[in-house]
Amino acid sequence: MIFQRESGILLHPTSLPSKFGIGDLGKEAYAFVDFLAQAGQRLWQMLPLGPVGFGESPYQSFSAFAGNALLISIEDLLADGLLQNSDVEGYPQLDARKVQFMEVKKFKEKILRRAYDTFRLRSRPSDYDEFINSNSAWLEDYTLFMAVKSRFNLKPWCEWDGDISKRKPEALVSYKKELSDEIGYQEFLQYYFFKQWYALKRYANSKNIKLIGDLPIFISNDSSDAWAKRELFEIDENGYPTKVAGVPPDFFSETGQYWGNPHYRWDVMAQDEYRWWRERFEMLMKMVDIIRIDHFRGFEAYWEIEGSEKTAERGRWVKAPGAKLFATIEQYLDKLPIIVEDLGIITDEVVRLKEAFGFPGMKILQFTFGRGSEERFLPHFYEENSVVYTGTHDNDTTTGWYEQALLEQPDAVDEMKRYFGIKGQPSAVEMCRLFIEEAFKCKSNTAVIPLQDVLCLGTEARMNIPSTIGGNWEWRYEKHQLTKETADFLRELSIKYNRNSL
């Protein structure tokens, strides 16, 4: 699919300002949409929106379908009368510049349960049962999963009591009865997440802003999907993965990246024409306007590691269904607006798969320089059907990256200076602004800039360091940082380089 010539910003909702310690779907999300419109931007890209599990990573979620209850706006619950001001008076003052996940979970959970206590005493909203019924394919399993998980002190499902871990029918009946109130609470959270989400989407669309959502290729083993549909995954009878995902050793890691997600049993999935995948795409397309597929190369061939291994060093490449999967999705859902993450070591087969379906791939300006005489990697060779970024959530900010390059990659710095026709030594902020302008200027139909780069922030604003746990996914901006000058800068670039379609 050929996209219009547009631009936008990458920002996960957790990074929005909020007095409750984490960004949410309340007034500051709407204010950010207003900023995008003021700045002449047409796209808001974000990371996966599911409930986060181990390490707080959006790419390790408890569900491929559910929403993250931590994004529910407390202020909207106050406006709906489910909370009183006295209910939130004891909420602590948390760091405005990063998410303190442990504290946020502790206090926000307490407030959400208070809201549920009020909700139970009321008549159900007119659309509540409709929400429950229309989402029953995933919601029933997810709410029971979270209720049982709470019952077993948040342990992974493979460590639960054997009968419920193995979903024996009598155990399912017993736990549904015993945990009916907790199941109701989990339904309540999902109802309000999606109620607030769809309201935000309608507002963004009314401002001519399209939302780009993220679809991780793999799911967490500790998820309702793996627990309820284990026949679709490489999981043994006790709930442990037998074959897991990752990438082999490369320039960035001597031992590769060991992700630990269970691989799919593609042969089983093919038997019902990939129904689970079709439902997943269909659900996400209700939530967003464009889908970005993470680790696209894994749909052509994936690195398979034995579950007993501790690193990604030993594994093998295994063919995935590739064209058969995407042709089936198109057959059922028509052609979808999809962006694919085709970074890293990409084979000719992956390129052919991408081109066969017309999916635009990703170009990262930080990866462009330092390649010597290979001009084919420079921005003026980018194809139109692509999406250009200054960096991604897995990279350092452009300012931080450039400051590091000054110390460790002088050849790359010299190459940048020659490319931009610069004499002398530009500051990190100057180079960051040049990168942004180059993204807007190049032929790629879509340009997306992380907000950290829009604000020219340093390494302290980095979102994630791959293969590390702790300190990731925490960054937040403060309201005063979105200035009229910044909006004017982006709007002027959008007009100058024909990225403002209105």
Enzyme catalytic residues:
294, 341, 394
How many C-beta atoms surround the C-beta of residue 300 within 10 A? 21
CA distances from 178 to 85, 87, 117 (A): 33, 28, 18
How many C-beta atoms surround the C-beta of residue 40 within 10 A? 20
Nearest to 393 by CA among 474, 344, 463, 457: 463
CA distances from 22 to 16, 88, 94, 195, 478 (A): 7, 15, 9, 19, 11
Count Cβ atoms within 10 A of the Cβ of residue 92 and give its class: 0-12 exposed, 13-18 middle, 19 or more buried: exposed
Nearest to 322 by CA among 363, 359, 280, 364: 359
User: Positive or negative, the Cα torsion across 386, 381, 455, 459?
Assistant: positive
How many C-beta atoms surround the C-beta of residue 52 within 10 A? 22
How far, in Å, CA of 397 to CA of 14, rounded?
18
SS3 per residue for 141-183: HHHHHHHHHHHCCCCCHHHCCHHHHCCCHHHHHHHHHHCHHHH
CA distances from 222 to 48, 227, 387 (A): 16, 7, 32
How many C-beta atoms surround the C-beta of residue 275 within 10 A? 14
Helix (H) or strand (E) holding 215: strand 210-215
3-state class (DSSP) for residue 471? coil
3-state class (DSSP) for residue 404? helix
